[in-house]
Amino acid sequence: MADWQHVLHRYRFRSEWRLCAPPPAVFAVLEDAETYPQWWPQVRRVTRVDERSGTAHFRSLLPYVLTVTATATHRDPVTGTLEIVLRGDLEGFARWTVGAAGRGTRAVFEQEVEVRKPSLRRLALPGRPLFRANHTLMMRAGRRGLASRLARR
């Protein structure tokens, strides 16, 4: 595969969420991946595989579902870090870093992945702007859902 083709399938995302809740409360919700479908509409289903792994299904605005197996590689409540490795339709990693910000919390989401789903790989060039926009919409909905869940606690 040519280098430029490899680059077309790789994505790097970073989102920063400001939340009106203490960092330990935010961390507690983010580390409980099985409850994500309750507050994040695009996370359709999470099924535990074992103590460190689970399978998740995502669908945002565009008409495709991504299925990944996520394995926890790092969990540190002191530094507010949660990290997973992803395998399946996306391969790479995702990380949450949660910390104090004024009277609330700053939660930073970072993800570096390569798309493995064949239909999305075929659409890599024309679809790239749409895939990025789809991710942005998903993250906005996630932030709203998490803020709402934290407000109810």
Q: What is the pTM of this model?
A: 0.93
The tens digit of pLDDT for each residue in 5-42 reads: 668 899 999 999 999 999 999 999 999 999 999 999 99
State which fold the 9-152 domain adopts.
Alpha-D-Glucose-1,6-Bisphosphate; Chain A, domain 4 (3.30.530)
DSSP label at residue 41: T
Asked whether 74 and 82 are in contact (CB, 8 A), the reply is: yes
Beta strands at 104-115 and 10-19: parallel, antiparallel or unpaired: antiparallel
What are the strands, taking DSSP E only, across the chain?
10-19, 43-48, 53-58, 66-76, 81-88, 90-101, 104-115
pLDDT at 4 over 70: no
The tens digit of pLDDT for each residue in 70-100 reads: 999 999 999 999 999 999 999 999 999 999 9
